Amino acid sequence: MIIGFILYGLLSLLVLFIFIRFISTWFVFTRNTFLAFVVRVTNPILLPFQRLIPPFGMFDISAMIVLIVISLLQAFVLNVFVRP
């Protein structure tokens, strides 16, 4: 049960980081160390999806697909680990 809560929390943190990264593309930030950290954390997850699904103009559809996949993983974690 504890493992489920930890996994769910980590996935929620990842969703937050992806959302921050998605929003930050609309603004210009120079030398922001927190955003550099967010990019380093989210790159391994987003880059494979960005190779499969190229952006449409300014819209990065791959980030939305990753968020959907993570929400499905969260539902799986809840059903398997938290609610036996």
Under 8 Å between Cβ of 1 and 80: no
Q: How far apart are CA 8 and CA 14, in angstroms?
A: 10
pLDDT (0 to 100) of residue 83: 76
pLDDT (0 to 100) of residue 84: 66
Q: Which domain, by its residues, includes 62?
A: 2-82
- Per-position pLDDT tens, the chain of length 84: 889 899 999 999 999 999 998 888 787 777 778 898 999 999 999 999 999 988 777 777 888 999 999 999 999 999 998 876
Q: How far apart are CA 34 and CA 81, in angstroms?
A: 32
User: What's the structural domain count of the chain?
Assistant: 1
The closest of 36, 37, 33, 42 to 15, measured between CA atoms, is: 42
Q: How far apart are CA 82 and CA 75, in angstroms?
A: 10
User: pTM value?
Assistant: 0.84
